[in-house]
Chains A and B, each alone.
Chain A
Amino acid sequence: MKTAGAQALSTVRTAATRPRTARRPRVAEQFETAVQQRAAATLGMWVFIATETLFFGALFFAYAIARIQAPDDFAQASRHTNLVLGTANTAILLSSSLFMALSVRAAALGTRQAAVGFLVITAALGLSFTGVKLAEYALDYREHLVPLVDFAFDPRHARGALVFFGLYFATTGLHLVHLSIGIALVLGLAWRLLARRPGASAEHVAIAGLYWHFVDIVWIFLYPCLYLVSRA
């Protein structure tokens, strides 16, 4: 039974885990406490991630059904993706997650410069990923693998290959859009932290971190679906 003065939020962390050295975020007027605000922001980002899981998930589902219906075509098509670049990109993105996590931790500890540094590295890795991906697109274009634009493939497998590459560009393109938003968010946070502007607290970095890691997880699943269908 709660007393009149207690918060009815038994599932929320108490002041014990609130960072002492980091700058306190401003509490928006609809919230009663900073703890409540942090709980809402975290839950909100996770709910958003759940929606994105289903958004990308529907695409993965279309891929799965198409692959079940044309397994050989998909196998052949997948062999034409660039395994070296794809694997390198996966490693780049996984590493970016490491630095993002380090940044979130640094921000929570109040070590502003470390947080900024890690954010910049995260963004740089994200930009590298983007660069590699665009280079890969250029190579795909040269090999006539872009649907609608001069697509040409072994006629025995062209039908399924067209579906494969349609899904390839749709999924990686959508992923790139999400990654770009993440890079912009991260750079924006780094700038505001560096310049000691409002809107950049440990809470903001943590929420951005959740988003970044989610984008990484999407790629974790895309990689085997696109690059590893049949290499044996």
Chain B
Amino acid sequence: MRGDRVSAYVWTWLGLLALLAASCASSFVPLGRLNAFVNVGIALAKALLVALVFMHLRRDRPIVRLVAVAGLAWLALLFGLSLADFLTRGP
């Protein structure tokens, strides 16, 4: 949008690249199950940067932000309630 400064975009881009490097590097550190959480966490952070800065969600109308969140929230429902089954099965 016209109100954004170029520097904001560039810093965001650098942040994204840094997170990419961190994600790649962390995968070489044997953390067992934690690796997956670190990776997903970093991916979420990257996605948030893209959404808030590049996609202007920072300053959009509430309904737009609600729609953006709804997609993810519903996905979380699919994951969460299904895992209630998959993770509680017997041996």
Contact = CB atoms under 8 A, between A and B. Distances in A.
Contact of A53 (B42, B50, B61, B71): B71
Interface string A195-219: 0000000000010011001101100
Contact of B20 (A91, A98, A105): A91
Contact of A231 (B28, B43, B67, B87): B28
Interface in A40-83: 42-43, 46-47, 49-54, 57-58, 60-61, 64-65, 68-69, 83
Contacts of B2: 17, 19, 105, 108-109
Interface stretch (A160-168, A169-177, A221-229): A221-229
A221 B47 contact: yes
Contacts of A17: 1-3
Interface centre among B3, B62, B71, by most A CB within 10 Å?
A: B71
Contact of B78 (A57, A94, A220): A57
B55 A213 contact: yes
Interface residues of A, number: 56
Contacts of A50: 67-68, 70-71, 74
Interface string A89-110: 0110011011011101100110
Interface in A1-56: 11-13, 17, 19, 39, 42-43, 46-47, 49-54
Contacts of B62: 11
Interface in A116-138: none
Contacts of A180: none
B30 interface: yes
B71 A220 contact: no
A83 B20 CA distance: 12
A91 B29 CA distance: 21
B61 A11 contact: yes
Contacts of B55: 209-210, 213-214
B31 A43 contact: no
B75 A224 contact: no
Contact of B68 (A11, A49, A90, A109): A49
A43 B13 contact: no
B43 A224 contact: yes
A210 to B, nearest CB: 6
Contacts of A61: 75, 78-79, 82
Given A53-B71, A95-B13, A104-B1, 13 more contacts: A11-B62, A46-B68, A50-B67, A65-B86, A94-B16, A97-B54, A100-B54, A105-B6, A210-B55, A213-B55, A221-B43, A224-B39, A228-B39
Interface of B: 1-4, 6, 9-10, 12-13, 16-17, 20, 23-24, 27-31, 35-36, 39-40, 42-43, 46-47, 50-51, 53-55, 60-64, 67-68, 70-72, 74-75, 78-79, 82, 86-87
